[in-house]
Amino acid sequence: MDWRDSGAPTALRALQAAGLRAEMSTRGWTSPTTRGEVAFGAGSISIPVGIQTVSPDSVHRAVQAAAVVGQVPAHAATTGYSSAGSDLGSRSFGPVRAPRILMPIGDGVSSYEVGQLWHLLDQRVGQPVTKVDTDDIGRVDWADYDVLVLVSGGVGSMFSGARLERLQSWVREGGTLIAVRNAAAWAAANGFTPNIDPPGSGGNGADGEDEAPTRLPWADAGDIQGAQAIGGSIWAADLDLTHPLAFGYTQRTIPVWRDHSLFFEPSDNPYGTVAQLTDDPHLSGYISDENEARLAGSPSVMADRLGGGSVVLLVDNPNFRGFWRGTTRLFLNAVYFGDRF
């Protein structure tokens, strides 16, 4: 099942809900199938019949049903040997976890961002999400979850002291933290990203020296500050198509939506900046000259490791209002493949 198909995540969820074990390859391959030779991109899904706990007939029925749900073609390989690329079952293939996702909601948390991501997972993909109120976060049994999704708002009040230490331990033990927009800045500032500094820290190669402020008329403050606001604009980002978070994309340049003023520096890890705005990134929308210069070359998606776990920073909302679908795959890849980098 080719991961480049937009319905592939929905089909994968249906397969996992049916109890099947799925594998994903970090490299593309070409297989002889009952329909002829078919080329599959990196991230594509294989369902080996031999490792399942149900009969081959049950496997075939479940695959056919998942293909219908996701509206994607499912191909039956006639041999495990590939015509090109990785052979089925080779080292590039590995299991795809059936993620157990936790998402805090409630006081202080952006209901817009939570709602947009919940709708994507629950309604469009069919992936269950456990929502927990911020008041109940201290009672969470972290052993029950693989993925934590944090959005803007309320994160600092949820996680401090012993709770912050427990969350860091959970990531080190293999959990995946996905932090969106302001939550990305919080994660970088609280020890989750050894190779990524928070915005404004002067790290990751920046000199950190602040110039003395220019004296300006008080009456002009509103106009001057308003001119620096990023209220919603579209930018071109360059993707590392070889990274698991970018599997399924076929073009390096994608448009991203930005409506905030978080400016990160690229990761110190040369492999950790998955999506970075181009040198001339402005596609549409108002932007001041100063902010346009700051945005050029800045990261939009970064990935880091903390112990045995992974942290994904989505600087820009990947599913803005549920219609900005070009970047939703970045988020879904973090959910399903976040343990594969």
Domain extent for 173: 101-201+231-337
Q: Is the pLDDT of residue 117 over 90?
A: yes
Task: Show which of 33, 66, 95 is a domain's final residue.
Answer: 95
Query: What is the pLDDT, as a whole number, of residue 174?
Result: 98
Average pLDDT, integer, range 97-113? 96
Mean pLDDT of the chain: 91
In this structure, the answer to whether residues 56 and 130 fall within a common structural domain is no
More confident residue, 17 or 207: 17
The per-residue b/e assignment along 113-148, b for 16 or more CB within 10 angstroms, e otherwise, is: bbebbbebbeebbbbebeebebeebeebeeeebbbb
Q: Is the pLDDT of residue 204 over 70?
A: no
Query: What is the pLDDT, as a whole number, of residue 233?
Result: 84
Task: Show which of 52, 80, 95 is a domain's final residue.
Answer: 95
Identify whether 33 is part of a domain: yes
Q: pLDDT tier at 221 (50, 70, 90 boundaries)?
A: low
In this structure, the answer to whether residues 45 and 161 fall within a common structural domain is no
Q: What is the largest CA-CA distance in the chain?
A: 77
Q: Is the pLDDT of residue 330 over 50?
A: yes
Task: Show which of 62, 78, 95 is a domain's final residue.
Answer: 95
Q: pLDDT tier at 295 (50, 70, 90 boundaries)?
A: confident
In this structure, the answer to whether residues 131 and 264 fall within a common structural domain is yes
- pLDDT tens, 118-165? 999 999 999 999 999 999 999 999 999 999 999 999 999 999 999 999
